[in-house]
Homo-oligomer: A and B are copies of this chain.
């Protein structure tokens, strides 16, 4: 579709703009090492690229900046996700150095990503919906308080502290726990509430005295919130980007960061495999329509997966970011997935 020369010049402009965030003029392109053309010739090519929609001008006599279509072409045609050199080693070292703890690894990865790129990293931990209940326990702390602990087969732990009303008998509580263990262990999380309302409720009303009150407590305690673990790292990195000199843009973005549910949805909507790049207006969420989001899933085990993403200006270092994400996703999958597969 594009000639070699057009492609080369598009690439040079994107690289330059990515670095300096200033519109790129024909003279600047002409002076680049890879280019042996006069400014005038470059101008002609640039005019063509603009007509094709790959470049834009801010005003009639500014240099060119890449359009979203330009970035899209660049990402689709120029980049291969093989990472070589230093970063690969950093990641390998970071990840394998005596880390066996899921949350820790994921959190460290988020930190690492945002440090290496100066963008904002968002990592969504495992999708709890598909998991099922592995263990349920109630540990009493004082006479009137207790903590309930739920564990899923994917290792997700949820806990709630609550106060026990004085009217509740200890042996009723024990009975209740036994019913719960009997009926709920092995049940997929998504069915918990239903089972609770039917089977468990029925059993409780038969065997337990104060069942209405207890059940009420139970329901609010066991109703799983669908929010998975979410990590956001390097939010302030984006503030350093020159595109954020306007406070309104910042406001919208940070309001998004505060809305966990919306972030989760954002990452859930990404593809199930491979690296996904959404550029500017390709994003459906308004607050990031002037940013790019690059994401990739990683396997946690047996069909469950998490998502790593990086959020940066459309003027993003796509090559670097894609290679980093690719490498990191591989490492994480190796760590969590093969660990289970290997035994």
Contact = CB atoms under 8 A, between A and B. Distances in A.
Nearest to A248: B239
Contact of A157 (B157, B233, B339): B157
Given A236-B254, A250-B247, A220 B160 contact: no
Contact of A161 (B155, B159, B342): B155
A166 interface: yes
Most buried by B among A235, A239, A240: A239
A94 to B, nearest CB: 15
A239 B251 contact: yes
Nearest to A232: B258
Interface string A131-142: 000110101011
Interface in A299-327: 301
Interface in A111-161: 134-135, 137, 139, 141-145, 147, 149, 151, 153-155, 157, 159-161
Chain A interface residue count: which class? 35 or more
A135 B144 contact: no
Given A147-B151, A258-B236, A162 B251 contact: no
28 contacts: A98-B216, A100-B163, A100-B220, A101-B160, A101-B161, A101-B220, A102-B160, A104-B160, A134-B139, A141-B151, A141-B154, A142-B301, A145-B339, A145-B340, A147-B151, A147-B157, A149-B149, A149-B151, A155-B161, A157-B159, A159-B159, A236-B255, A236-B258, A239-B254, A240-B251, A244-B247, A245-B247, A250-B250
